Amino acid sequence: MTVTPRSPLVAVLAYDGLCAFEFAIAYEVFGLPRPEMGPGWYRYCPCAVEPGPLRSASGLVVEAAAGLEILAEADLIIIPGWRGIAAPVPGPLLEALRQAHARGAAIASLCSGAFVLGAAGLLDGRRATTHWRYFDAMADHFPAARLEPDVLYVEEDRILTAAGSAAGIDLCLHLVRRDFGAEVANRVARRLVVAPHREGGQAQFIERPVPKPREGARLSALMEWMQAHLDEDQKVPDLASRAGMSIRTFQRRFEETTGLPPGSWLLQLRLARARELLEAPEDRSLDDIAEATGFRTVAALRHHFRLRLGVSPGQYRDRFFRDRQPSRAA
C-alpha cells in the first residue's frame, strides 16, 4: 500500500493590533486556494494568540479558526509582524513556539515578528534579520542573536526572519521553493506578479533578470535566444551581429534595457539555471550542470557560485534538500 504524505500545515498567528499586510502575505502564498497545485498543497490555519475580538492596525476585525493548540500540529508557523517592538509577548505563545521548534516545526517571522522569536530565545546564536528601522533595537534586546543587516531574509536551523514587509514575500516564496521546487515557486510568483527571486546579499537567491518594458521589445528575441542557448558560447560581437547592431550600440542598448552589461546578465541567467538543476530531484553531476549552463568546467561553476552565493554548488544542493525536509510532513 502506498502512503501519501499529508500536505504541510501552515499556522499564521493573529493577535490584537495585527499587521494586516504581513498577515495578507502569508494568506496569499499559503492560504489562497490553488487547485492547480493538486491535493498536496499547503493546509492553512489562522491561529489566535489571545481571546478576541482581534483588531488589525488597519481597523479590521479578525476571527481566527484556531487557538495556540494548533501550533502543536503545524509544520510551519508564520509570525506576521508584531504589535510593537517593545510590546510584551504572552508567555503561552512563547512556550508554544519553543515546543513547536523543538519537535521539528519551522518558524518564520515577517518584519517586526522577529522580536517574538527573540523573546522566545529562538534567535540566540542564530543568524537573523529584521527591518532596518528596528535593527539597533533588536541588537539591544537580543545581543545573543547574530544579526545581519544587508539581507532580505535569513534561514538557520528552521528559524527564518524577513527584513521587512515586502521581504516577507521573498521569504514565503523561498519556503515554497524549498518545499515544492523552483518551478512551483515561479508559478506562485507569477500569480502574485512579483519577481521569483530578488538578490539581497549573502546567500540570497538571485533573481532571473527581467528587461525594462520600454526597451525590452528591441532585444526580446535575442534575450529569449540567449536564455534558450545557455550551453553555447555567447560572445558580445556575435550577440551584436545577431541583434543587427554595432558592438557599441548593442552594449549601450542592452544595458539600458536590463540595467546590466550583456556578460553580467548572462551570468545571472546561468547561475539561475544551475540553481534550478541543483534543486531538481534528478541527481545530475556537476560536470553535466556546468556543461548545460555554459560554465564549461566545474571549477568555473564553483567560482561563480562562491562569489555570488557564498557556497559551493555541492553545498547549495545539500543545503536545499536538507532544509526542505523539516517542513514536509511525514
Catalytic sites, residue numbers: 111
C-alpha distances in Å from residue 149, one per residue of 68, 83, 124, 130: 31, 22, 16, 8
- Whether 84 and 105 have beta carbons less than 8 Å apart is answered as no
Cα 110 to chain centroid distance, Å, stands at 12
Half-sphere exposure (Cβ direction) of 252: Cα atoms closer than 13 Å: 5
Question: What three-state secondary structure class fits 196?
Answer: coil
Distance CA 302, CA 111 (A): 33
Sheet holding 106-110, edge to edge: 43-48, 9-14, 76-80, 106-110, 159-162, 153-156
CA atoms within 13 A on the CB side of 313: 29
Integer CA distances (angstroms), 206 to 56, 134, 151, 154, in order: 34, 25, 12, 14
Radius of gyration of the CA atoms of the chain, in A? 22
| Beta strand 153-156 pairing with 159-162 | antiparallel
| Contact predicate 136/103, CB 8 Å | no
H-state helical runs in 166-312: 167-180, 182-192, 213-228, 236-243, 247-258, 262-279, 286-292, 298-309
Q: Which long-range contacts (CB under 8 A, 24 or more apart) does 60-69 make?
A: 60/18, 60/20, 62/14, 62/18, 62/23, 64/14, 66/11, 68/92, 68/93, 68/96
